[in-house]
Structure 1
Amino acid sequence: MKRNIVIATVAAAALIGGGTATAFAVGGDDDGAAGTSSVQLKDNARDNDSDDARDDDSDNAHDDADDAAENTAEAKAAKVTAPDAIKAALAHTKGTAVSAELDDEDGGLVWDVDVLKGSTWHSVEVDPGTGKVLGSWVDKDDDGDDAADAARVNSALKGASVSAADAARAGAGKGTVTSVDLDDDGKAVAWNVETTGAKGAESEYNVDLKTGKVTPDHDDRDHDDHDGQDDDGSDD
């Protein structure tokens, strides 16, 4: 798995020891051997030829419908919750869980949990059907910045009383949690939690590192609204 870390320096006086901190979003693709998941989903890929025959509005509507169907299928198929997946990963690999994501890979649906132990990153895959650890490996950054990345994450989490599992439990009241990671909401360091609703709609929330308070991630929604525009506000 290749670990992609998005780094942003933010003011976090209220959260991290009265100073500044750096926020991270950790995720990536499978790069190591792992067992086969007990949860296998059907291929929902659409026919590209029929896509070309649709107009933009119709195509977007079908994309949204397909995404919602996929989200619903993954959320329903995962019998193991995010907190339980994190617990299983930490029982296998001691350290601090920095992210957990429900991901449909070649070997089936898995919980992909990133664990930081000292300055070493570990990727642990957990079966969402059984809670069994399917595999784990040391995950090295191609740029060789693992130690620096680890130091920044440890600094961001210093003094935090809410863990990734705690954040996932807090977000569960909003829907089925499919992802949790350490992220920047534009104002302060927080846990970012993604949920899927009953009809497949995705929502994002921030969970305070100290209080566990859950708030909507408005910044992410605003960012998505402008993804198709240049800096001057015009379309590409």
Structure 2
Amino acid sequence: MKRNIVIAVVTAAALVGGGTATALAVGGDDDDSTSVTRTDDDREDRGEDRSDDRDGDGDDDTARAAAPGGVTAAEAITAALKHTPGTAVSAELDDGSWEVDVLAEGGTWHTVRIAPDSGKVLGAQKDDEDDAAEVRAALKGASVTAEDAAKAAAAKGTVVSVDLDDDGDDRGWEAETRASGGDEQEWSVGLTTASVTTDHDDD
């Protein structure tokens, strides 16, 4: 005789590998049943998976907001240049670390990763970029470095990125800051005066 009833019975509680096991018996027919055993470790694994999914789904702004602080953009640039001498062209707090792009002697590009809580070099890699000539042309006659621009923009908030804008006639540094309330603002920093103005392109 077939029964269309689902019976869930807690049949046993035992210690399995240091955790608690719960046995569930689920049946729809007399002759067809399925037994599922779950342990505390399984539950913990599922919780970790959900946490990993949340971490992986965030955008750059979320990653920057979650990153530990302490090391400023200017300090990250200084640390990167000490490791890889050259000209810093950009610095961004991304995926839990500062990433500083350096144009080294000979026109080779390098990305240096800096820990935002200690200032230590986490790693460096050579990049295949071919715009060294354009960058050098944009910086010709400039007296304000990326580090200087980061320091100047810091008066407006916490700097989370600084980058060289070498397009068009209005060349200069672009800096992004975050206020204590979380609001973000982009600024333009001059290549010769370090003057900080609102980036109207952001508007």
Indicate conservation of the 8 Å contact 2:134/2:166, yes or no.
Answer: no
Aligned to 2:102: 115
Residue 166 in 1 paired to residue 148 in 2?
yes
Q: Does 1:98 align with 2:60?
A: no
Q: In structure 1, what is the Cα distance between the partners aligned to 2:85 and 2:126?
A: 13
Residue 79 (structure 2) aligns with: 88
Q: 1:81 to 1:43 in 2, by over 3 A?
A: farther
Map of 2:25 onto structure 1:
none
Check whether the contact 1:79–1:128 (CA below 8 A) recurs between aligned residues. Answer: yes
Aligned equivalent of 1:125, options 99, 113, 120:
113
Aligned to 1:140: 128
CA distance in 2, matches of 1:177, 1:44: 28
CA distance in 1, matches of 2:61, 2:180: 10
Where in structure 2 are there 5+ consecutive unaligned residues? 1-50
Change in Cα spacing, 1:125 to 1:68, as seen in structure 2 (3 Å) is closer
Q: Deviations over 1:60-103 (max 9, x none)?
A: xxx9xx998765444xx221000100000000000000000000
Report matched runs for 1:1-236 at 5 Å: 45=54, 72-74=65-67, 77-104=68-95, 109-117=96-104, 118-141=106-129, 146=130, 149-183=131-165, 187-221=169-203
- Counterpart residue identity of residue 110, structure 1: S
C-alpha change, 1:113 and 1:158, in structure 2 (3 Å) is same
- Partner of 2:159, secondary structure, is strand
Instruction: Give the whole-Å Cα distance in 2 for the aligned partners of 1:159 and 1:217.
Output: 22
Which fold has the larger relative contact order, with Cα–Cα distance below 8 Å and residues 6 or more apart in sequence? 1
Partner-residue secondary structure (3-state), 1:219: coil
What secondary structure does 2:173 align onto?
A: strand
Please state how far the C-alpha of 1:119 moved relative to its aligned partner.
Answer: 1.0
Contact 1:185 1:217 in 2 (8 A): no
> Could you list the per-position Cα deviations for residues 202-229 of structure 1 after superposition, in whole angstroms to 9, with x for gaps in the alignment?
10000000000000001122xxxxxxxx
Aligned-residue CA RMSD in angstroms?
2.5
Contact residue 194 and residue 205 of structure 1 kept, 8 A = yes
Q: 1:95 to 1:175 in 2, by over 3 A?
A: same
> How far, CA to CA, are the matches of 2:127 and 2:61 in structure 1?
31
AA of the residue aligned to 2:108 = T
User: Secondary structure of 2:202's partner?
Assistant: helix
Change (3 A) 1:185 1:155: closer
Q: Which has the larger radius of gyration?
A: 2
Distance change >3 Å, CA 202–CA 43, structure 1 → 2: farther
TM-score (norm 2): 0.68
How far is the alpha carbon of 1:45 from its aligned partner? 3.4
Distance 1:68 1:150 in 2: 28
